[in-house]
Structure 1
């Protein structure tokens, strides 16, 4: 909350010093880190299409801003100011964007209405809509008016398209989710981490990513009972030193923190805990099995697509309802959700012991990614056809 409040105090001063009247600006807005990852493929393409424009990125959440405030894809990264009518006008006076791209589901009425009033070209990408949103529950134009700001909606699924159609918006295309393009591209990157190779030392490896306390309670039970030759890497969602130390004390297996790895014989340890950020995607490339956190409790499932692109089986907690990609991957048996520690132990042991089952499950995950890439290409084609003239002018 402190970051949320303090960070916004600098927004307008940053805009005054970094954005000038003669600058041509394309503005991307996203809620947090997950939406940023969805925006990355399109941002890269926009930089190619409009090399003379400045790229502004705004975040609502500190968890996105603090990690990506120095992103090389953007000329400036800021917090979005609070959505008041006064702030919306002042913000757009400073930014004066020629094109605005919102990612997924950030709908701020004052800002959108001001974009519409100024006739600033605005697009939504990877959009997701649900019946319980006020646009569809309330038969009131006040709730729907902000959507008029969008020249075009690129949505993730047919359901979102039909919901928009039902309230009179037909400027919609089902493009899918740009996150598939983002994670598929990871296969072309250098994912080598020598310390992980030393730690694994040829053994089977489980990577548990973005874990919360509830996830770690499940994992602890498996670790305590585990008699199999398997290495385990845990990357908690938040780096809480006390929680990590408590977890280490509760397990019998020898464990080591990433921050303490230097000078140690890493192959001597069974558990490694990654007490830093920014390495998880590369670490997934070494996994034989992935556990993705957030779905045991109510915090929200983290990104299952990152491990899926490497063709590995995925295990999560049971709370998947708000995550359609997880529901779909579960339906085709590339993902298994567990309701208890007992179920987690069972599926881990089956995947470890049965290599044919493990590889088959992993291939399903990989194919799921491959069948869903292409959203960026559709969005890029639209931008080329409709906005490339900005650069020519």
Structure 2
């Protein structure tokens, strides 16, 4: 099985190189960002404290682990914090993150790379956020007797760890010192394969979104755009979402409603295509981009396209209702960022893998829409029934607050564990 694993890694990296050669931007970043990684590690001047290596697959996992990282920084100011990413979407956005001493791409998994990486950084403690299980890194950590923890881990029965053919993958899990899990179901799954070193601490994302909502910053362009209108903020949308959103917006023709769309990807061709679609599908007098908004025309503008990174989580603070994209694609994105502001949340049908989506629905804070008709009906009902809107919003905020506190639980256990 190890041979197949290594062969898979080789084929994956070859595919990335071919894609980069053909001009794929993300593939090029993946390749070029890893060049010279040994020199970068050797050039880092360590401080006197312990070394924490924190790994995130991408930007979403970073935001999930951020409360823990920042608590470690606050608790241990002299600690060395090395933050690694697998994906360009995480590294390129957070490569200058001030609370980490060094931000790098994770070198490709391999026996030699893993040994060299650990020999250079010499971590005292390793934290993997949610997942990203790499055989050679985990094997090397166990061999060096370095404690490694999974933070906000979650498992599903259909994962290969729990299949009859999953022995190789189960061995990877047995290299983990302790799992901080989101729910008991994940713990029961681990128990079923003989792993009992876990605790149910919850999801650190709740801590992150709660903090962000409490410390939101003003966005003058959105204040001027919204004025006294209701605002539907649609975050992390895909083309399948946007067709329905724009059809519903045009269908309702609510004079009190304005629309902010934040597409999941914001490269120039993508946002230009979205603007053209918005102009075709609606009879809005103007559609503007956030980055180039004409303040003199914002009063009459009905649709604003958020084409800037780092604004969405605060934009939800201006929303009357939020729609989370991905539910008509591969799966919804972060519902909690919006819920933390105490507003009703809508999303499409592909949400079954996300326990917080089910939790929000059960709490009366979120609504699943399966098609344009349902979207129009639910949005119209929420807009007209103030009691429903307020009740759903309060339920959303309460759901986030009730489930917060995972960071403190994890820090308490890490502190009581063998000190690094």
Q: Which runs of 4+ in 1 moved over 3 A?
A: 19-24, 138-142
2-structure distance, mates of 1:370, 1:22: 37
- Structure 2 residue corresponding to 1:380, chosen from 411, 414, 419: 411
TM-score of the superposed pair, with normalisation by structure 1: 0.95
Classify the secondary structure of the residue corresponding to 2:33.
Answer: helix
Distance change in 2, residues 1:119/1:316 (3 Å): same
Q: CA RMSD in A?
A: 1.7
1-structure distance, mates of 2:165, 2:378: 47
Distance change in 2, residues 1:21/1:378 (3 Å): closer
Paired residue for 1:257? 289
Paired residue for 1:142? 168
2-structure distance, mates of 1:24, 1:370: 32
- Structure 2 residue corresponding to 1:233, chosen from 227, 246, 260: 260
2-structure distance, mates of 1:368, 1:196: 26
Paired residue for 2:19? none
1-structure distance, mates of 2:74, 2:214: 19
Paired residue for 2:3? none
Paired residue for 1:65? 91
| Cα deviation 1:341-370 (Å, max 9, x = unaligned) | 111111111111111111111111111111
> 1:49–1:384: 8 Å Cα contact kept in structure 2?
no
Paired residue for 2:237? 211
2-structure distance, mates of 1:7, 1:348: 44
Distance change in 2, residues 1:237/1:270 (3 Å): same
Distance change in 2, residues 1:333/1:190 (3 Å): closer
2-structure distance, mates of 1:93, 1:204: 56
Tell whether 2:336 aligns with 1:327.
Answer: no
Tell whether 2:191 aligns with 1:165.
Answer: yes
2-structure distance, mates of 1:197, 1:307: 17
TM-score of the superposed pair, with normalisation by structure 2: 0.89
Mapping of 1:57-206 within 5 angstroms?
57-138=83-164, 141-206=167-232
Tell whether 2:70 aligns with 1:44.
Answer: yes
Q: Which ranges of structure 1 fall in alignment gaps of 5 or more residues?
A: none
> 1:116–1:148: 8 Å Cα contact kept in structure 2?
no
2-structure distance, mates of 1:371, 1:125: 19
| Cα deviation 1:31-61 (Å, max 9, x = unaligned) | 1111101111100111122221211111111
Classify the secondary structure of the residue corresponding to 1:267.
Answer: coil
2-structure distance, mates of 1:176, 1:140: 26
- Structure 2 residue corresponding to 1:272, chosen from 279, 304, 328: 304
Paired residue for 2:340? 309
1-structure distance, mates of 2:102, 2:47: 15
Shift of 1:10: 3.5
Which deviates the most, 152-161 or 10-19?
A: 10-19
- Structure 2 residue corresponding to 1:357, chosen from 388, 400, 404: 388
2-structure distance, mates of 1:373, 1:362: 17
Shift of 1:224: 1.8
1-structure distance, mates of 2:74, 2:177: 22
Distance change in 2, residues 1:16/1:264 (3 Å): farther
